[in-house]
Structure 1
Amino acid sequence: MLASVIDFLVTVGYFLIALGVLVFVHELGHFLVAKRAGIRVERFSLGYPPKMIGFQWGETEYCISWVPFGGYVKVAGMADVGEDETMGAPWEFPSKSVGIRMAVIAAGPLMNFLFAFAVFAVVYGVYGHDTMASTAVTPIEDSMAAAAGLEHGDVVLDVDGTEVDNSYELLRALEAGLEKGSVLTVQRAAGIRRIELPAASDAAYGIRILRPTTVGIADPGTPAAGIGLGRGDHITAVDGTPVVSWYDMRMLISARPAESILLSWERDGVAMTADIIPEERMDGDKRIGVIGISPFE
């Protein structure tokens, strides 16, 4: 019960922080354009009255108020409710031209748009495309790829002579070859094969990329943590059976609940092995084995 309350409060806290950032950016747009246009800004507030804390700097009072669901910029000659008394002074909002007043009002939404664009650009620049470090594939049943001879677990090395190192590069290369067809170089077991895919301008090849067997998290207190599995470890075999996808690995482990199996993996190029006993769990009316790992994201 206490954990649920804490989780709820944490969620509310994150929401208020995100809302506060958006409100700040929005009101900053109004503030900057008003200042630039020579309009006196009397108050910049995060939240609605009553005021919690604040300070005066020049002609503007900066404050944080108690009601957190919004904020406002108070400019001379403009009131949110009713009419503000005006003197016709040049620094008042009503004294400015229609174009300037429209610019002040529109600056808030525009600032939010620019902020969203900037955040997207930064996230894209830092994290790049959503991809997996895998070019292992499986053909969809009765697809063009299956008819061409592609098999489950084939690892694509290059497409039309261009090396591919991850799922994004593989998908881009396959899309580029749809209209004219492509030649794949794949590794299958210990051999290298060439798969010729015909042109498919009106359809897809029917290729699915397999999630690699790279460990993201080994939950504390689980069999995986007990043998020292950690983030980045690449599982290569389950009880002597090589695995190229997370699905294959999970199926082999789940079929052996409460039985000792030999798990093989690589860590920084070093081969490692250990015996592990999957915990027994119930999946409906079926017994399955789990070792407490989740995939690398």
Structure 2
Amino acid sequence: MNTAIAFIVVFGVLVFFHELGHLYFAKRAGILCREFAIGFGPKIFSFTKNETVYTIRLLPLGGYVRMAGEDPETIELKPGTKVALLLNRGGAVEKIVLNNIDRYPNARILEIEHADLEHKLTVTGYEEYEDAPQTFAVDEKARYVTGGEEVQIAPYHRQFTSKSLGQRALTIFAGPAMNFILAFILFMIIGLVQGIPVDRPEIGQLVENGVADKAGLQEGDEIRTINKVQMQSWKDVTTLIRKNPGNELTMDITRDNQHLTVSVIPAAEQEGNEEVGRIGVYPPVEKSLLGSVKLGFEQTIRMTQLVFVSLVQLITGQFSIDALSGPVGIYNLTGEVAKSGLVNLLGLTAALSVNLGLFNLLPIPALDGGRLMFFLVEALRGKPLDRQKEGMVHFVGFALLMLLMLVVTWNDIKKFFL
């Protein structure tokens, strides 16, 4: 159960921050966001706030922000359609009822002749027993009522496609960008909790019952010399200890202004093809806000470089697709890391966030990077590509991604049971 909870929390945080980036900049641009979803498939939970339905869905395979204008509007008022109009105090239409209109005795019943709910925001038609058509102004936040559900209309200036190229690109780029920001925040929190390693010849935290612990060394001991060799930094300490597995070392230390001598014999441990010495101590650390901010930047950049190199190696065939992990593999990894403590779980979440951000920036159709690539083509052409053709490309890209997901998930399942 702990594994399931840890996975749900990690997955939820990653997707939430990614989609929050899209949502925030879409709303800033004035785009109507119909739904903010975590997961796909059937709804588990939902609520509505400020025009947007927030949902949690069953399948933990991602999330989305459904913006008006990205897909064709599903409701269209065709000539001859009979509707009930509910007017606000100003006489403008605030609700358009499409079925069961008899339930609204106080509504204006209209047979549609013409409706423009994108630009002019008017509906024109014939009321019963009237020979002349009537035209009604429509409130820009008016809603369709159909099947017991209400759907807000989307005037053109509230649609994604109506916005400038820069606004659309920023809205799409904001998702991956938020993943990098999340990674920075998590790495910074780790720095604040654990402290930041410093390059001083000083004993940090000790491994319980390790060589150093048994020899009587204590956290905070300043190492002056080892075998009469002056120690200037933590690197000097670790270098000398690593070179002497199984050999006795004499340390001159300072503790509470007292000079002491301690002898240790580094344990021999295998590291690759090399045998190295270890005494069971961590480097000294210090806690500071500025240092944690610096650590957050450095670790985010370092992790981004590692993920980028891995992606290049995958594309160039330097390692197999079998090395990739999908939801099942991440689920198992999250469970193992969660057992080792909250700080390690934060580190895993930060690493996964960088992975998600960088992967989404790849110029692959259906990913954010693919959409940004189409925006670049639009900027070079001076006009957008045909929406139907672009939609088909994204559909094919999404299908291929789902196929990749199935292959990776199958590999994860085989690793789990074999």
Normalized against structure 1, the TM-score is what?
Answer: 0.50
Q: Which has the higher helix share?
A: 2
Q: Which has the higher strand share?
A: 1
The one of the two structures with greater contact order (alpha-carbon pairs below 8 A, sep at least 6) is 2
Normalized against structure 2, the TM-score is what?
Answer: 0.38
